[in-house]
A = this chain, B = another copy of it.
């Protein structure tokens, strides 16, 4: 019922081998023959059998992009950029060397992360791009390192994007990490420069690298400014979600009503924080300043516009895509840190005198 290579071969009166070579274009075929084959392909509306092809050639055109939360533009932007870079290979006519770039949503679950990796391993994926902060659980790190090593062994190119390098894993083609520490430090320094001293912090889930890096750099900046009291009572952890920002902010206000600024783990959380503050009748930034992280597209449209740290998500994703395709030389040592730029906007201002 379905058309096979052999059918095409019969129609073009050549051998299956020749058809295969025309389709793959990696072996000389006379122009006249090629044309005859191509015509047969068109007439029969032939579609290559991917599994058969992958099996015989021991390679696949699947490229997986893993994200923590597909509904979050933070990941969407990176994934989209990577996917464009990977799929956009050749504008040249026939769907030849086309890669099938697909994104897989782990939902932040370590098990699903591993499961997806196994599934991609099954498919003998050509490459895998892992985005977003990693879990700090040692077991999971070990499992991931082992898995990635196995993937690399099987010829899959592994790229990390916006994720710190895996300790001891040379399996990876390249790791592009965001400078969360530098960005976090600059953000807090900005607040300090404005005169803030009592700063609440709405952190992400404690077990994520991103959370820790951002939080640690915040505290380091405070310490460097001579603020060395224990910060734990003005820190609340929660998921990277709007709701979490809302709830955490109410909690912080309860713990210390004299806070003059709130730093959020990311922009989404910051938006929740703003909502909570407004609901408490506080004005931003007159009564209290708010800052986020990531500079997602909506942040500039918040009212007031959100002070945040810009991460070049698009650029990083695109670069990861190119690395995955082997279209760009890996950075020295396979590790690159991507800058994070402070975007000082209207949501932060000097604290009220008093």
A residues sitting closer than 8 Å to B (CB atoms) are 2, 45, 47-55, 60-62, 64, 69-73, 76-77, 79-80, 83-84, 87, 95, 98, 100-105, 107, 112, 115-116, 118-124, 150, 154, 242, 271-272, 274-275, 278, 297-298, 300-303
Instruction: Out of B52, B72, B73, B154, name the residue touching A55 (CB < 8 Å).
Output: B52
**Given A51-B50, A101-B104, A124-B49; A242-B275 close (CB under 8 Å):** no
Query: CA A115 – CA B102 in complex, angstroms?
Result: 13
**Given A51-B123, A119-B95; A70-B271 close (CB under 8 Å):** no
> What is the minimal beta-carbon distance from A280 to any residue of chain B, in angstroms?
15
Query: CA A118 – CA B112 in complex, angstroms?
Result: 27
Interface of A is mostly: helix
In the complex, the chain B residue whose C-beta lies closest to that of A91 is: B111
Inter-chain contact A242/B112, CB cutoff 8 Å: no
28 inter-chain pairs at a CB distance below 8 angstroms, sorted by A residue, are: A45-B150, A50-B119, A50-B123, A51-B52, A61-B119, A62-B123, A64-B102, A69-B80, A71-B76, A71-B79, A72-B76, A73-B73, A80-B105, A83-B104, A84-B107, A95-B119, A100-B120, A102-B102, A102-B103, A102-B104, A103-B104, A271-B298, A271-B301, A272-B301, A275-B301, A278-B303, A302-B302, A303-B303
How many copies altogether? 2
> What is the minimal beta-carbon distance from A267 to any residue of chain B, in angstroms?
10
Query: CA A87 – CA B106 in complex, angstroms?
Result: 10
Query: CA A154 – CA B3 in complex, angstroms?
Result: 11
Inter-chain contact B76/A124, CB cutoff 8 Å: no
**What are the nearest 6 A-B pairs in CB distance?**
A102-B102, A51-B54, A50-B122, A71-B76, A303-B303, A51-B55
Taking CB atoms, residues of chain B closer than 8 Å to A275 are: 300-301
Instruction: Out of B76, B98, B302, name the residue touching A76 (CB < 8 Å).
Output: B76
Taking CB atoms, residues of chain B closer than 8 Å to A122 are: 47-50, 53
Query: CA A51 – CA B77 in complex, angstroms?
Result: 30
Query: CA A107 – CA B102 in complex, angstroms?
Result: 13
Query: CA A50 – CA B303 in complex, angstroms?
Result: 51
Inter-chain contact B105/A123, CB cutoff 8 Å: no
Query: CA A54 – CA B61 in complex, angstroms?
Result: 15
Taking CB atoms, residues of chain B closer than 8 Å to A121 are: 47
Taking CB atoms, residues of chain B closer than 8 Å to A298 are: 242, 271, 298
Instruction: Out of B64, B83, B118, B301, name the residue touching A70 (CB < 8 Å).
Output: B83
Inter-chain contact A98/B83, CB cutoff 8 Å: no
Query: CA A112 – CA B76 in complex, angstroms?
Result: 18
Taking CB atoms, residues of chain B closer than 8 Å to A301 are: 242, 271-272, 274-275, 302
Inter-chain contact B80/A124, CB cutoff 8 Å: no
> What is the minimal beta-carbon distance from A277 to any residue of chain B, in angstroms?
11
> What is the minimal beta-carbon distance from A6 to any residue of chain B, in angstroms?
15
Taking CB atoms, residues of chain B closer than 8 Å to A50 are: 51, 54, 119, 122-124
> What is the minimal beta-carbon distance from A337 to any residue of chain B, in angstroms?
23
Taking CB atoms, residues of chain B closer than 8 Å to A100 are: 104, 116, 119-120, 123
